[in-house]
Amino acid sequence: MSQAMQQKSPISVRPNANGFGAEITGVNLRAPQDAETTAAIRRAWLDHSVVWFPDQPLTLDELECFTLTMGDWGKTDFIKPVDGHPNVLELLREADERSSNFGAGWHSDYSFQDAPPAGTLLLSKIVTPVGGRTFFADGYAAYADLPEQMKKRIAGLKAIHSAERPYSKQGFYANENEKRSLKIVPSDDALKRRLHPVVRTHPETGRKALFVNPVYTIGIDGLPQDEGDELLRELCAATLQQQYIYRHAWKPDMLLMWDNRCVQHFAEGGYDGHKRLLYRTTIAGDVPS
């Protein structure tokens, strides 16, 4: 048997049946990773868009170290980070809170930035016995299955992205009345607008994906508002069809990583009366094209 045939991957990857999402085992993320293992993890992430690592009781320092193996820090807007860890967010919801669960709307993280994050990592510490799943939608498959007429219609179009709906001083979080442990800082900076392609070409895989979402995409450049809104409704509905969605159930000490360049996600509620704690980091991305 040749040496090439004898070589084994340093990790074990178990994809979902349709290839969207995969579990990775056989690696201890608390320890530094060699170049071969890091490359294998990245390949699995690019191949499956959403990957998770069970049984990884990471400290915040270890979470930060692993994040940096995937890229530089992404920019965090409108949320106060953990003291002493400026690139880590604490997603805490106490058992007595009645505010809406954070992330309860389909979105791609920070798509309103000039260079939105390439990826997001989420580490679970306290999970709930009911609810609290994270849903993911496959932007690659949604684009690939669009009718050719729609693909031609949206080719070259740019969408308007903004954080104004959730994070402006007139937005949702500035006007809620319920207690919230997560420290959100509304700002006039949320009113800024950026243009990104409706169809994004992934800079590493070369594949095309729909890059619009219901929370941060507020219009289509060059189209009247009502026409742009209708087109966005059609595209978001196409993306959020059941066949494109993976529903992830959490366990304690699980690390989840997804690719914001081709994936939308949604945080499920349904766990009132239960404490929930996760930590989040982001990986720097580039300007969508």
Distance of alpha carbon 200 from alpha carbon 206, whole angstroms: 9
Q: What is the pLDDT along the chain (289 residues), one digit of tens a residue?
A: 334 444 578 999 999 999 999 999 999 999 999 999 999 999 999 999 999 999 999 999 999 999 999 999 999 999 999 999 999 999 999 999 999 999 999 999 999 999 999 999 999 999 999 999 999 999 999 999 999 999 999 999 999 999 999 999 999 999 998 999 999 999 999 999 999 999 999 999 999 999 999 999 999 999 999 999 999 999 999 999 999 999 999 999 999 999 999 999 999 999 999 999 999 999 999 999 9
CA distances, 255 to each of 87, 112, 125, 147 (Å): 16, 25, 10, 36
Backbone torsions φ then ψ of 62, nearest 5 degrees: -70, -35
Q: What is the CA radius of gyration of the chain?
A: 19
| Residue whose C-alpha is closest to residue 37's, from 53, 61, 21, 60 | 53
pTM over 0.85: yes
Distance of alpha carbon 20 from alpha carbon 136, whole angstroms: 9
Predicted pLDDT of residue 62: 98
The CATH class, in words, for 3-283 is: alpha beta
**Strand, helix or coil at 39?**
helix
Predicted pLDDT of residue 4: 41
Please give, one letter per residue, the 3-state secondary structure of 42-105.
HHHHHHHCEEEECCCCCCHHHHHHHHHHHCCECCCCCECCECCECCCEEEEECCCCCCCCCCCC
Predicted pLDDT of residue 9: 85
Backbone torsions φ then ψ of 22, nearest 5 degrees: -155, 145
Angle at which helices 35-48 and 60-70 cross, to 10°? 80
**Strand, helix or coil at 234?**
helix
Q: Following DSSP, what letter does each residue of 144-210 receive, concatenated? A: HTS-HHHHHHHTT-EEEEESHHHHSTTSTGGG--S--SS-B---GGGG-EEEEESEEEPTTT--EEE
Distance linking the first and last C-alpha atoms of the chain = 44
The domain limits of the chain are 3-283
| Residue whose C-alpha is closest to residue 106's, from 139, 146, 131, 79 | 139
